Chain A
Amino acid sequence: MCVGLSAKVVRVEAGTALIDASGAQREISAGTLENLEPGDFVMVHAGVAIAKITDDDAAEADAVMEELL
């Protein structure tokens, strides 16, 4: 139940968003995120977008490791 789904926003309408996760589309609540736009990436839990995200974990690893060394 706790596995998050990262997905791309296709459409936003009055508190809900249509998302695409690797080809599978579904309606979710966008009630806790402001200024969501088509093309944004989000993390989804239990049908709710909980965070706007970037989709690049390689760039993230670069930034985190850079700081470490």
Chain B
Amino acid sequence: MNESAARARDIITGYSGAPLRIMEVCGTHTHEIFRLGLRKLLPPQIDLISGPGCPVCVTAVGFIDEACWLALEKGCIICTFGDLIRVPGTEMSLAGARAKGADIRPVYSPLDAVALAKENPDRQVVFLAVGFETTMPSACLAAKEAKAANLRNFSLLTANKTMPNAYQALIGSADAFLYPGHVNAITGNATCAKLCTEQGVSGVVAGFTASELLTALAVTIRLLEKGEPFFRNCYPRVVRDEGNIAAIRLMNEVMEPCDSEWRGLGMIPGSGMKLRPEYADFDARIKFAMPEITGKPNPACRCGDVLQGKIRPCDCKVFGKGCTPLHPVGACMVSDEGACAAYYQYSGLV
């Protein structure tokens, strides 16, 4: 640990002021803070709460049902980021669909799904496009490549989400946000800076290494002590104020805003992205004339409250009992980045 990071650690451990609530919006932050043991450094009056920034966790139940319908009713090959496979739908997860004969393939990148479609011209391949601004450029590149190659057997089932309207929904749930560094690497810092100047919302952009998380937390604590709203970029080696302009252009060329359902939070207007009409041939809902499918979440699951920082995962009645990573009841217990999975993995229960 270098001198600056050690100084940051001292600021955190030495804090003795008023109670503070700091929300790590991003699921990867939740996981890394646990993994690096940083929670143990915090004095009791600092409460770190987990936010809704895990795309797997906020994917609506109905989206899983739609994917199962495409796999089982239409015989499509479903390509997906691996974490989605065990997320519960209304009746089954994609793993359950696979047990019934569905062809479900984990991929690292949507571009791998395009390659698979090229190799299997007699099969329909659907990529499940979930994720925030960070993973959206890859889905857009896949759609563009499929269009350029005139691929007739590739489409996207979209549930992409954007952060700005989610921040609006979260205002008041914490004294400061740790903003997700890799979202800002794409979008730039204007939204967060504006939240500060126009609505008095405080936060810092944080990276993911021990040094970056320590400095982000120390800066947050020091500036909260000063009592003025603030915004700081604590991840300048990756995040520029203007973001990735070519990626923003690409997203706006291929996709457009839409309303989007967040698991547990409900419908947030303008918080999603869907393919533009020029890409309708690559929109699985249009291509397969999908009926309206509405999912029913398990009533025992309190993911919604966890994702808004209203309760801790261990306050959920089924945490660690009926709901474990092997038998997840809700999405937050599935993904490594989910708050319930992180609490389970690092709370001495395993």
Given contacts A50-B244, A51-B244, A58-B2, contact A1 B135 (CB under 8 A): yes
Residue B238 at the A interface, CB < 8 A?
yes
Residue A14 at the B interface, CB < 8 A?
no
Residues of B within 8 A of A (CB): 2-5, 7-8, 26-28, 54-56, 81-84, 108-112, 130-132, 134-135, 137-139, 141, 182, 185-186, 207-209, 211-212, 214-215, 218-219, 222-223, 232, 234-240, 244, 246-247, 250, 335-337
- Could you say which of A29, A50, A62, A66 contacts B186, with CB atoms under 8 Å apart? A50
Which chain B residue has the least Cβ–Cβ distance from A61?
B4
Residues of B within 8 A of A68 (CB): 218-219, 222-223
Residue A57 at the B interface, CB < 8 A?
yes
Please report which residues of chain A, range 46-69, place their CB below 8 angstroms from some CB of chain B when the two chains form the complex: 46-48, 50-51, 53-69
Residue A21 at the B interface, CB < 8 A?
no
Asked if B109 and A47 sit within 8 Å, CB to CB, the answer is: yes
- The 9 lowest CB-CB distance pairs between A and B, nearest first, are A47-B109, A1-B81, A61-B4, A46-B138, A32-B247, A65-B4, A58-B2, A51-B185, A48-B138
Asked if B236 and A63 sit within 8 Å, CB to CB, the answer is: yes
Q: How far is the CB of B334 from chain A (nearest CB, A)?
A: 11
Asked if B7 and A2 sit within 8 Å, CB to CB, the answer is: no
Asked if B4 and A62 sit within 8 Å, CB to CB, the answer is: yes
The CA of A3 and the CA of B134, in the complex, are separated in Å by 10
Asked if A46 and B208 sit within 8 Å, CB to CB, the answer is: no
Residues of A within 8 A of B83 (CB): 1
- Taking A2-B131, A46-B135 as known contacts, 11 extra A-B pairs with beta carbons closer than 8 A to each other, sorted by chain A number, are A1-B335, A31-B246, A50-B137, A53-B238, A54-B237, A59-B237, A62-B2, A62-B4, A63-B236, A65-B7, A65-B218
